[in-house]
Amino acid sequence: MVVTFRALLAGALRDRISLFWSVAVPLLLLLVLGSLFPEPAYRRNLVLGLVAFGSLSFAMSGTGFEVMRQRGRGVYKLLRATPFPVAGFVGLLAGARGLITLVGAMLVAGVGSAVHGIDWTPGGILLALPVLAAGTACFTCLGFVLGNLGDNENQVAMYNNLFLLPQMFGSEMFYSLDGAPGWVAAVRRWLPAGRFIDALRAAAGGDGAALVPSLLVLLAMTVLILGLAAATFRWDPGDRRHLPALRRA
């Protein structure tokens, strides 16, 4: 397990495209948007929004493409011919990508806070950790769904847009939706990224009571999406029927 986890971690760290979108782009946006809109309240929300954007990019989009590539390459099929538990492998893959997502999120949050002068209290940091973990788990599960739906890069890219764009523009990542129509606010409540940002804002403000509802909804969404990921999981692109019923002497 340790060898596999280390290798998956190394592989995820070499996923330059995901790292670009999850760390480099948020850091760039921090500087550009932060300098264009200097209001402290906006900058604070921007930092937290970009943490969500980075997490979504690595955990969801990155995992989606990785799962599709591994399945297409026949890794899952081969894995079934070995004694290694496939569920264990999936857990390790999610863990490795989740760990890097967490580190990336902390990096963006740390740099953003330092650059834009946001003070995190120790309590706020403690509150933010479970939120980051829950968000990472939720987005990673979404990534598995994404990778399960698409058979090739083009399909995953299209599904990725379908999952990513509404969450990017409907979750207050980059701007407030206070003036938006009521239905936009209603939709926002059903977006994992929206709940993640709400919980993160509550944590940053040290408001544990305000954090709990959003965190609970986020966890419930994670369980639902995990179920969806398990239901749509495929061993290989062509065949869904794999029920070995052979006699082993």
Partner 1 sequence: MTPLIAARGLVKRYGGRAVVDGIDVDVYPGEVLAVIGPNGAGKSTTLEMILGLRGADGGSVTYWTGGPRRREDPGRWMGVQLQDTPFFPGLTAAENLQVFAAFYGVRVTRQRLDDNLAACGLAEAAHTEAARLSGGQQKRLAIAAALVHQPKVVFLDEPTAALDPAARREIRMLIRRISRSGTAVVFTSHDMEEVEKVADRVMFVSGGRVRAAGTPQALTAAYGVADLDELYMKLAVEEVS
For partner 1, which stretch binds (CB under 8 A), given 163-171, 176-184, 222-230, 241-249?
Answer: 241-249
Does residue 189 bind partner 1 (CB under 8 A)?
no
Q: Of 63, 70, 167, 214, which one interacts with partner 1 (CB under 8 A)?
A: 70
**Spatial distance between the Cα atoms of 55 and 211, rounded to a whole number of angstroms:** 19
The percent helix, strand, coil of the chain (3-state, each to 5) is 75, 0, 25
Q: Of 38, 82, 181, 240, which one interacts with partner 1 (CB under 8 A)?
A: 82
Does residue 84 bind partner 1 (CB under 8 A)?
yes
Q: Assess contact for 30 and 46: CB atoms under 8 A.
A: yes
For partner 1, the closer CB: 15 or 198: 15
Among candidates 167, 51, 57, which has minimal Cα distance to 113?
51
C-beta pairs of 90-96 under 8 Å, 24+ apart in sequence:
90/144, 90/233, 92/1, 92/4, 92/5, 92/8, 93/8, 93/63, 93/66, 93/67, 94/63, 94/137, 94/140, 94/141, 94/144, 95/5, 95/8, 96/5, 96/8, 96/9, 96/11, 96/12
Does residue 216 bind partner 1 (CB under 8 A)?
no
For partner 1, the closer CB: 15 or 172: 15
Does residue 73 bind partner 1 (CB under 8 A)?
yes
Q: Of 25, 33, 79, 219, which one interacts with partner 1 (CB under 8 A)?
A: 79
Does residue 15 bind partner 1 (CB under 8 A)?
yes
Tell me the two tokens of residue 19. Answer: 């790292």
Tell me the two tokens of residue 240. Answer: 């869904």
Does residue 95 bind partner 1 (CB under 8 A)?
no
Does residue 239 bind partner 1 (CB under 8 A)?
yes
Does residue 238 bind partner 1 (CB under 8 A)?
no
For partner 1, the closer CB: 12 or 225: 12
For partner 1, the closer CB: 85 or 227: 85
Q: In whole angstroms, how close is the CB of 145 to partner 1 at the nearest point?
A: 21
Q: In whole angstroms, how close is the CB of 82 to partner 1 at the nearest point?
A: 4
For partner 1, which stretch binds (CB under 8 A), given 68-76, 147-155, 165-173, 195-203?
Answer: 68-76
Beta carbons within 8 Å of 141's beta carbon, 6+ residues apart: 94, 222, 225, 226, 228, 229
Q: Assess contact for 196 and 135: CB atoms under 8 A.
A: yes
Binding residues (CB under 8 A) for partner 1: these are 1, 3-4, 7-8, 10-12, 14-15, 69-70, 72-75, 77-84, 89, 239, 241-249
